[in-house]
């Protein structure tokens, strides 16, 4: 093995006329020293002389001198490796201070060269044993094979560590930093591991790697079954990367599964997701390709999050606007210019309730519900937390149901933060619930036990002022202390002014 390396070095030196004389001389000296094996034979002779001085018979010297020789070489190589690692750690201190994300810094952090130095002891034992020991025993051949296998393993380990360092650089900067490329890096590492395993087995059984690979063809079906998840993960990882379907940090949701959270990592075999309840879910990458996945990345990148929620309006409260109602609602600052403009349009006979060229919002002053829609649009357009340009903003009536007519709010907030979004949405609908009776509109709500008790108390002669939690809007302030029942909005409903029963 080592003579082959020397031959290659000599050939390289002979084909490089530009190499200076000193370098050529050094190569020649190294080649002659290795070929003669002077150092190795000298060390072995000294060991035999020492054993003779110790009184060991010649028959036993040939048995133990080789093992002592191997042990001394191994100890010396291990000591040299330790010194080199200490010296290397001192040299890498300035490199570790460099900006994170550079290849030199990542190589230093991953200790690529330090991993490579672990191959020095087995490589030294392998080379020195071939130079000095001429009569190999079965035990010695086994040691050489183990050393060769260790060298192969350390080489694969070093290469995979270098791949990890390169991946760390790619994942920090560049166009590929947001792509799930970690699975591809693991595939490359797996290929080197497979090559290392094949070479190691061929060394152990003393067979050619080509013959071993040919024999593995018969087990292709078994290998495909064993590595089914790995193969599916590789194909899925390529698809995820090629079509940019999922990135680290994306908020994804898979219908029908408990997956609803942030992607923490995408590897060859698993995708790790942290749900919003701080639980972790791992699933195979194939799931993200074979099932429908809702990715909220577009919402996050757009800077706006949609609000689409509705109140169900009681149809019995929808009515035409009277002049008195319009005068009353004109006191609302947002509605005053709108009502005045609509009145002017009605007087001119050119009422436009959709895409008004004068800039008025969609709505009407014919009904209290239409005026309420116009008010909500104005309210949302004047909110600093709602997008009113380049984003859809509307208030619309949905198809009526048995409970009433749904009034839907459709708009986008200026933030995508979950807590802020929920706060803005809650504030909007709290305002709608509070301002709705001002337009003599009431939402539908199923009757509860409290409603039946209130109805019974009213039937018994109680005034609403004596009933805690009476529905808002059922009473009106006429400037007196009378708390009689004045049902709204129906004018035909009877009034109850009877005093409460006395005990």
Task: Copy the structure tokens of residue 440.
Answer: 């003599």
Contact 438, 335 (CB under 8 A): no
Question: Which pLDDT score is estimated for 378?
Answer: 92
Q: What is the pLDDT of residues 395-405, one digit of tens each?
A: 999 999 999 99
Question: Which pLDDT score is estimated for 362?
Answer: 66
Phi first, then psi: give them for residue 102, nearest 5 degrees.
Answer: -85, 150
Q: At what angle do helices 228-242 and 182-205 cross, to 10 degrees?
A: 150
CA 267 to the chain's CA centroid: 11
Question: Which pLDDT score is estimated for 136?
Answer: 67
| Share above pLDDT 90 across residues of the chain, in percent, rounded to a whole number | 21
Judged by average pLDDT, the poorest of 87-91, 243-247, 479-483 is 479-483
Question: Contacts by 281-288 with C-beta closer than 8 Å and gap 24+?
Answer: 283/257, 283/259, 284/229, 284/232, 284/233, 284/236, 285/183, 285/232, 285/233, 285/236, 285/237, 285/240, 286/229, 286/232, 286/233, 286/235, 286/236, 287/254, 288/236, 288/240, 288/245, 288/246, 288/252, 288/254
- Rounded CA gap, 286 and 478, in Å? 70
Contact 433, 453 (CB under 8 A): no
Domain locations along the chain: 7-36, 40-177, 234-301, 303-439, 447-503
Q: Which residue has the higher pLDDT, 427 or 136?
A: 427
Judged by average pLDDT, the poorest of 56-70, 152-166, 202-216, 314-328 is 56-70
DSSP secondary structure, 2-35, as one string:
HHHHHHHHHHHHHT-TTS-HHHHHHHHHHHHHHH
Q: What is the pLDDT of residues 312-321, one digit of tens each?
A: 999 889 999 9
Average predicted confidence (pLDDT) for the chain = 76
Alpha helices (H) in 285-436, listed in sequence order: 285-290, 297-302, 323-329, 335-348, 368-381, 418-435
Measured CA to CA in angstroms, residue 202 lies from 126, 148, 162, 211 at distances of 17, 11, 25, 9
| CA-wise closest residue to 500 among 474, 464, 455 | 464
Task: Copy the structure tokens of residue 71.
Answer: 């042990």
Task: Copy the structure tokens of residue 117.
Answer: 């130095």
CATH class of the domain defined by 234-301: mainly beta
- Rounded CA gap, 174 and 109, in Å? 20
CA 429 to the chain's CA centroid: 33
| pLDDT of 495 higher than 50 | no
Residue 296 in 3-state DSSP?
coil
Question: Which pLDDT score is estimated for 22?
Answer: 37
Task: Copy the structure tokens of residue 229.
Answer: 């998840």
Question: Which pLDDT score is estimated for 467?
Answer: 62
Question: Which pLDDT score is estimated for 486?
Answer: 41
Phi first, then psi: give them for residue 272, nearest 5 degrees.
Answer: -100, 125
Question: Which pLDDT score is estimated for 205?
Answer: 83
Mean pLDDT confidence for 408-418: 93
Per-residue confidence band for 479, with pLDDT thresholds at 50, 70 and 90:
very low
Per-residue confidence band for 478, with pLDDT thresholds at 50, 70 and 90:
very low
| pLDDT of 65 higher than 90 | no
Mean pLDDT confidence for 423-443: 93
H-helix or E-strand spanning residue 79: helix 58-91
Question: Which pLDDT score is estimated for 500?
Answer: 46
Contact 140, 133 (CB under 8 A): yes
Question: Which pLDDT score is estimated for 439?
Answer: 93
Residues 6+ apart with CB under 8 A from 46: none
- Rounded CA gap, 405 and 442, in Å? 11
| pLDDT of 2 higher than 50 | no
Per-residue confidence band for 60, with pLDDT thresholds at 50, 70 and 90:
low
Q: What is the pLDDT of residues 221-246, one digit of tens each?
A: 777 777 777 778 778 877 777 777 88
| pLDDT of 125 higher than 60 | yes
| pLDDT of 499 higher than 60 | no
């Amino acid at each position: 093995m080592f003579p082959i390396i020397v031959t290659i070095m000599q050939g390289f030196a002979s084909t490089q006329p530009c190499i200076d004389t000193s370098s050529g001389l050094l190569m020649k000296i190294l080649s002659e020293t290795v070929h003669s094996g002077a150092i190795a034979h000298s060390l072995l002779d000294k060991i035999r002389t020492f054993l003779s001085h110790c009184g060991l018979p010649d028959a036993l010297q040939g048995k133990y001198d080789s093992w002592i020789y191997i042990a001394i070489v191994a100890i010396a190589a291990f000591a040299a490796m330790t010194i080199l690692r200490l010296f290397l750690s001192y040299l890498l201190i300035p490199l570790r201070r460099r900006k994170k994300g550079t290849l030199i810094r990542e190589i230093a952090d991953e200790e690529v060269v330090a991993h490579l130095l672990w191959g020095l002891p087995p490589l030294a034992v392998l080379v020195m044993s071939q130079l000095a020991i001429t009569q190999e025993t079965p035990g010695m051949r086994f040691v050489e094979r183990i050393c060769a296998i260790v060298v192969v393993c350390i080489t694969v380990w070093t290469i995979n560590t270098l791949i990890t360092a390169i991946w760390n650089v790619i994942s920090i900067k560049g166009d590929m930093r947001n792509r799930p490329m970690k699975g591809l890096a693991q595939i490359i590492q797996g290929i080197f591991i497979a090559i290392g395993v094949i070479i190691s087995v061929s060394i152990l059984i003393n067979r050619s790697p080509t013959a071993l690979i040919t024999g593995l063809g018969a087990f292709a079906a078994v290998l495909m079954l064993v590595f089914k998840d790995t193969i599916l993960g590789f194909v899925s990882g390529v698809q995820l990367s090629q079509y940019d379907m999922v990135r680290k940090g994306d908020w994804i949701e898979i219908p029908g599964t408990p997956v609803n959270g942030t992607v923490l990592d995408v590897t060859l075999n698993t995708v790790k997701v942290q749900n919003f309840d701080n639980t972790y879910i791992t699933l195979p990458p194939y799931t993200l390709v074979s099932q429908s996945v809702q990715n909220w990345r577009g919402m996050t990148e757009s800077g706006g999050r949609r609000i689409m929620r509705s109140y169900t309006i009681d149809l019995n409260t929808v009515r035409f606007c009277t002049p008195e109602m319009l005068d009353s609602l004109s006191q609302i600052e947002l509605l005053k210019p709108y009502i005045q403009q609509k009145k002017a349009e009605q007087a001119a006979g050119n009422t436009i309730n959709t895409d008004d060229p004068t800039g008025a919002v969609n709505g009407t002053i014919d009904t209290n519900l239409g005026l309420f829609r116009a008010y909500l649009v104005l309210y949302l357009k004047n909110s600093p937390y709602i997008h009113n340009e380049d984003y859809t903003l509307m208030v619309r009536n949905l198809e009526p149901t048995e409970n009433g007519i749904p009034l839907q709010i459709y708009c986008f907030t200026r933030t995508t933060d979950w807590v802020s979004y929920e706060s803005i949405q809650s504030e909007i609908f709290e305002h709608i619930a509070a301002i709705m009776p001002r337009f003599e509109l009431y939402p539908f709500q199923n009757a509860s036990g409290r409603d039946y008790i209130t109805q019974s108390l009213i039937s018994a002669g109680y005034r609403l002022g004596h009933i805690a939690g009476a529905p808002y809007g059922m009473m009106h302030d006429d400037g007196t202390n009378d708390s009689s029942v004045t049902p709204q909005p129906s004018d035909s409903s009877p009034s109850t002014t009877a005093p409460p029963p006395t005990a």
